[in-house]
Structure 1
């Protein structure tokens, strides 16, 4: 057992890692088990397609087709890697999307057995998908392992995590080889294994507990604060994070770091609210035609200003949603530090027309002024990292 432990768990386990390490590795191992099992059937399908193609072409042409397939995958991998910093913004969403893309690639590989004359285009498409998925897995691996490590043992945690994945992959491959000898239904077997893979991937991603605030986790934290006056714990905030959002999606109710022409219908509306933000390095407004909240960042805006602008945008969005429902969803708090905050929200008026826009934005400024510091304090007490955020603001700035 000591020998096995030296290969599958970090030195000093369990004190050397966070509590979320065990559930993550459990689901990661299961995902690799299903992945290894599927690999047998997809490889079998590819080889079968090549075998049929070989009867219609020279061996040199078949070899070239195989090389082109791998080459297309590498090109796709190289182009996708250009995204760089964006991998940090929606880490969990990207990791899960990558696993879905891996399944899509495996499914396309399986289809080559049905239409072997289309081997090259199908195999190229499948390999591009799988290599892009591999980039997401590699790029998101280190931040995830870093979240588990206690102290300077990230190398040990990474090595043992990859070992567990490889062992599970080998076990899945071995079992799949034994199953394939009985000639099971290819579609049924693949579907079953694919469902197991996707479920394991979802559970794996959901078990990760990160301290940084990206868009999804920041939304959970602010909405909880506005509704209850409390910031969720790291565990609760990560569990409530929506991983089904499309990574880097621009279709969101809050646009952070937007362009001037998107935020304002005409210059007059900007001149009306601009004095409200003289002491801030951002401007928050609402465009009723597009139904979005826009946070424009000034050129001097730093990390904390971006965080405050996003918080302000959520407060204004909460106002608007509450007015649409003709009631406020915020409950009164007993603590004296929230009395002014709740009083401001209770006095909030509806926002049916642009005539009321200035009054409501002014109201939101008062609420943010009295509550942002409280939010930051409570978030820090729960363990959230407030010094560095991953809110992915746009590049546009006001000069």
Structure 2
């Protein structure tokens, strides 16, 4: 029995486990295996649907036509993958958010493939769209996989961790495929089966991404750290910061803070720049608020260093906090003011808030940076 267990372990866990990986490796791999199980099961249904739609089950369709349609479908997917690959620089920023988004895209692509059963006459365009979506998801998933595995590796064993992680995924995928083949023989409801498997896949994907603990600050985790520090004076631990990070971000979501902005975006009019500039004479950055766009902007001056960028981001969130607090206090009065046609409170004189934020940042940034560095490796996020 020991020999059998050792043989199995050699395929599913890194050498030296559990000391060779971080503690969060087990929950991550558990959810990852479950996700691949559901993914493998869904693959049987979508492949069967595609084959039926393309005409394999219809004797009137020639094998040559079937092959051409299938090749065009795959070709469209490869073109989509190639075009999306130029966005690779963004994969290093919101890694967990992109990873979950890729699984959502994969489900959308699978759903389109399933819909070809209802519209077989539109097989080629629908299959091409589905394959483009799924290949874009594949690029995102592949690009974010290595950094995640790297976060679990202790020492120089990233290759071993990656290999065993992929092995677990493949085993789970095969198990899911086998189960799905057995189920399809009973001719279950295609829509119901797909809906259940899809829910299981997305739920597993969410918990898989949620369990990832990265030791760097990206935009989302930086926001969590600053908000906690402003409100409580406490910088969350590595695990706490990751657990509080927002995983799903709507594409239309309004981002209240922009770092590395342009002058025209940040200042509504030149007089605002003239009034704000004296407050930042000793800094390599400027922070301001544009009420028309309801956004705080941080502008970087020439020769700004990494710590200046970090400080500018910290200052921007402090200013946003003051503006939000002021907005909450004046919400009731703003409703009455709006009724009588007076300006909305977001168009308030925000220079006082900028001046107040400068004082707070001057006295507290050093403390924040020290506490944050004790918890994580400070990594500058991509400037927007």
TM interval, shorter chain, is over 0.9
1:16 shift after superposition: 0.6
Structure 2: how far apart are the matches of 1:80 and 1:245?
Answer: 19
Structure 2: how far apart are the matches of 1:354 and 1:99?
Answer: 40
Show the 5 A alignment for 1:249-260.
251-260=254-263
- Preserved CA contact (<8 Å) 1:76 1:128: yes
TM-score, with length taken from structure 1: 0.89
Q: 3-state DSSP class of the match of 1:85? A: helix
Q: 3-state DSSP class of the match of 1:19? A: coil
**2:377 aligned partner:** 385
**2:142 aligned partner:** 138
**1:341 aligned partner:** none
Q: Deviations over 1:314-362 (max 9, x none)?
A: 00010011112229xxxxxxxxxxxxxxxxxxxxxxx958784333212
1:140 shift after superposition: 0.2
**2:367 aligned partner:** 374
**1:274 aligned partner:** 277
Q: 3-state DSSP class of the match of 1:17? A: coil
Q: 1:299 aligns with which of 283, 299, 302?
A: 302
1:299 shift after superposition: 2.6
- Preserved CA contact (<8 Å) 2:314 2:365: yes
- Preserved CA contact (<8 Å) 1:31 1:197: yes
Structure 2: how far apart are the matches of 1:267 and 1:180?
Answer: 67
Q: 2:104 aligns with which of 100, 124, 127?
A: 100
Query: Does 1:231 find its partner at 2:235?
Result: yes
Q: 3-state DSSP class of the match of 1:261? A: helix
- Preserved CA contact (<8 Å) 1:30 1:168: yes
Q: 2:286 aligns with which of 280, 283, 302?
A: 283
**2:354 aligned partner:** 361
Structure 1: how far apart are the matches of 2:229 and 2:281?
Answer: 26
Q: Deviations over 1:86-140 (max 9, x none)?
A: 0011111100010011011111111111211111011111111111111111000
- Preserved CA contact (<8 Å) 2:46 2:110: yes
Structure 2: how far apart are the matches of 1:26 and 1:40?
Answer: 22
Q: Deviations over 1:199-241 (max 9, x none)?
A: 0000000000011111111110000000110100111110000
**2:339 aligned partner:** none
**1:318 aligned partner:** 321
- Preserved CA contact (<8 Å) 2:221 2:242: yes
**1:337 aligned partner:** none
- Preserved CA contact (<8 Å) 1:98 1:136: yes
Q: 1:87 aligns with which of 91, 95, 109?
A: 91
Q: Aligned pair in 2 of structure 1 residues 148, 188: CA closer, same or farther (>3 Å)?
A: same
Structure 1: how far apart are the matches of 2:144 and 2:367?
Answer: 32
Structure 2: how far apart are the matches of 1:104 and 1:353?
Answer: 38
Query: Does 1:263 find its partner at 2:259?
Result: no
TM-score, with length taken from structure 2: 0.92
Structure 2: how far apart are the matches of 1:225 and 1:164?
Answer: 39
**1:24 aligned partner:** 28
**1:308 aligned partner:** 311
- Preserved CA contact (<8 Å) 2:288 2:297: yes
Query: Does 1:220 find its partner at 2:224?
Result: yes
Indicate the RMSD between aligned Cα atoms, in angstroms: 1.7
How many pairs align? 367
- Preserved CA contact (<8 Å) 1:254 1:313: yes
* Unmatched runs of 5 consecutive residues or more in structure 1: 328-350, 395-399
1:250 shift after superposition: 7.4
- Preserved CA contact (<8 Å) 2:77 2:128: yes
Structure 2: how far apart are the matches of 1:142 and 1:37?
Answer: 25
Structure 1: how far apart are the matches of 2:119 and 2:347?
Answer: 59
**2:334 aligned partner:** none
**2:341 aligned partner:** none
Query: Does 1:77 find its partner at 2:81?
Result: yes
